[in-house]
Amino acid sequence: MDLWLSPHDARVRSLRSEGELLYGVARSLFGDCIALISGDHLLALRFVESREEGVASLQSEWPKTHLRYSPEVEKVIAQGFENPASVPVLAIGTPFQITIWEYLRRSPDAITLTYGELARAIGRPKAARAVGRAVGSNGIAVLIPCHRVISRGRLTGYRWGLDRKKDLLAWELARRDPLEMPF
């Protein structure tokens, strides 16, 4: 089961205060990834240039937390690409961000939508720019599929590069059952 928490939640404060989180690095079809987990929940999944860069980035976000390497996390990364819905996430954000991320997490594979469509879908039709900021602040790649959000008729902005966004969308489309296509 996914957890959607505010940064001020007691569970988040507990994680941030000198606890221990596990990380792992694995190669994917789209480049190297680093993931961070707590118990059964994935806290972060990011594309990185190097292990060192990834660990430094995570450590800067979790400065009082001990990050310990675990090869088990690599299995979670692989599982996330094979069956994203099977990996429980623990997303930490504002209520608005969480609303966006939950909606994206439930969206079908290989379906794209615009920032405006996403704003309307969550009942905030005039919030397309705020939706864009929430999408851009997502730190759980693939499992919260922010790569599916596009501008009208074109690919724009992706935290980990437009080429990767395009590749992720093509990969999802290629994996989709043709009998379930929306045409």
**CATH at 61:** 3.30.160.70
User: Looking at the structure, do residues 133 and 152 belong to the same domain, yes or no?
Assistant: yes
Average pLDDT over residues 27-40: 95
Tens digits of residue pLDDT in 123-178: 999 999 999 999 999 999 999 999 999 998 788 889 999 999 999 999 998 887 76
* Active site amino acids: 146
Rounded-to-integer distance, Cα 78 and Cα 82, Å: 6
Query: What is the band of 21 on the pLDDT scale with cuts at 50, 70, 90?
Result: very high
Average pLDDT over residues 82-111: 93
Tens digits of residue pLDDT in 97-123: 999 999 999 998 778 999 999 999 999
Q: Write down the pLDDT at residue 89.
A: 96
- Residue 103 inside a domain? The answer is yes
Whether the Cβ atoms of residue 22 and residue 68 lie closer than 8 Å to each other:
yes
User: Looking at the structure, do residues 26 and 70 belong to the same domain, yes or no?
Assistant: yes
User: Looking at the structure, do residues 127 and 167 belong to the same domain, yes or no?
Assistant: yes
Q: Which domain range does residue 152 map to?
A: 94-175
User: Looking at the structure, do residues 82 and 103 belong to the same domain, yes or no?
Assistant: no
Calculate the alpha carbon distances from 82 to 15, 94, 143 in Å.
Answer: 28, 29, 10
Rounded-to-integer distance, Cα 20 and Cα 37, Å: 10
**Three-state DSSP state, 157:** coil
**Residue where a domain stops, chosen among 51, 86, 121:** 86
Provide the number of structural domains found in the chain: 2
